[in-house]
Amino acid sequence: MTLLDGLLALLLLLLAGRCVTAASLLQAIVAFIVLGLLLALSWVRLEAPDLALAEAAIGAGLLGVLLLGTWRRLPAGSGEQETPWPWQGSAQAIAALGCVALAVVLALALHETTLGPAAAGTAALAQLEAAGVDQPVTAVLLNFRAYDTLLEMGVLLMTLIGTLMLRRPLQDGALAAPATPLPQSLARLFLPPILLSGLYLVWAGAYSPGGAFQGGAVLAGAGVMLALTGLLRGSTRDDLPLRCLLVLGAALFTLSGVLLIPLTGHFMAYPDDLVTPLMVLIEFSLAISIALSLMMLFTGTPGLCRTRP
């Protein structure tokens, strides 16, 4: 296994180098997607399956789709070799040297760090029973450090608003389904199993690796597939139900945190007998908001609509 790990580390370095040195943008994007997949494998080797799932679904999957989508919309020829500025070479050399130096110092520092049992981690495992779920990662994300997760939903929403602002006013033509070799019948065939596995991942978060972010990313993937085959398309008309669903996760999370204060005495605490159902409810609502946000980052439109044959 040491050989495998070594090979993995070497490949990661090579692919990372390829990302920044590739001659064309498309090659760099492909290298980046492969890098994400190998990174997910590394997380598996480091026994962090939650991170592996998130990295594969978001890092390699959705990020790759977003990058490729952007690449396709670039004017032809841009992003290839541009004329270099005069001191580009030396600036790149300095940046590269700085990164190598930082990596060496980091490696030295990590080498001498002895990992003891972390106080916060130990406390989390000790109180897992009271947290309402069996999976420590989910307990941290939705209970012990629920506040962080809630604020992350704010990050996602503001990013979405910012991205939609960059979108140029669309002509109707731009909204038409892109030409794709993926036939719609195939998408219809794949849709149920993808939706099912996405929902399963959300549900599984309670007792095994998975959860709102991983499941939401898979659901968003299903949406991207529908958009790519033209079954679903972006629309310039934004509608109230969609906006409600986009804030559903954050709103439900906050309101349950505030409204239950009389029962628990603390903000974002759950009463003992309601903790599991509440957390599952919140997890699913978060997954819906995450999936829609990620999908709309892909379409880049304030609304979505079905394509009628």
Residues within the interface to another protein (CB under 8 A)? 105-106, 108-110, 112-113, 115-124, 127, 143-148, 151-152, 154-155, 157-159, 161-162, 165-166, 168, 238, 240, 243-244, 246-247, 250-251, 254-255, 257-258, 261, 264-269
Residue number, 96 or 186, with CB nearest to another protein:
96
Q: How far is CA 119 from CA 116, 125, 229, in A?
A: 9, 10, 50
Residue number, 147 or 200, with CB nearest to another protein:
147
Contacts by 189-196 with C-beta closer than 8 Å and gap 24+? 190/225, 191/222, 191/225, 191/226, 194/218, 194/219, 194/221, 194/222, 194/225, 195/219, 195/222
Q: At 304, is the secondary structure helix, strand, or coil?
A: strand
Distance in Å, CB of 30 to another protein, minimum: 22
Treating both helix axes as pointing N-terminal to C-terminal, what angle do 25-45 and 63-73 enclose, rounded to 10 degrees?
A: 180
Distance in Å, CB of 91 to another protein, minimum: 13
Buried-state track 138-157, b at ≥16 Cβ within 10 A, e below 16: bbbbbbbebeebbeebeebb
Q: How far is CA 264 from CA 141, 164, 268, 306, in A?
A: 19, 39, 9, 44
Distance in Å, CB of 128 to another protein, minimum: 11
Residue number, 86 or 117, with CB nearest to another protein:
117
Residue number, 50 or 187, with CB nearest to another protein:
50
Distance in Å, CB of 236 to another protein, minimum: 12
Residue number, 13 or 123, with CB nearest to another protein:
123
Residue number, 96 or 261, with CB nearest to another protein:
261
Q: How far is CA 75 from CA 71, 111, 144, 248, in A?
A: 9, 47, 47, 37
Distance in Å, CB of 27 to another protein, minimum: 21
Distance in Å, CB of 173 to another protein, minimum: 20
Q: Which residues pair with 304 in a beta bridge?
A: 234
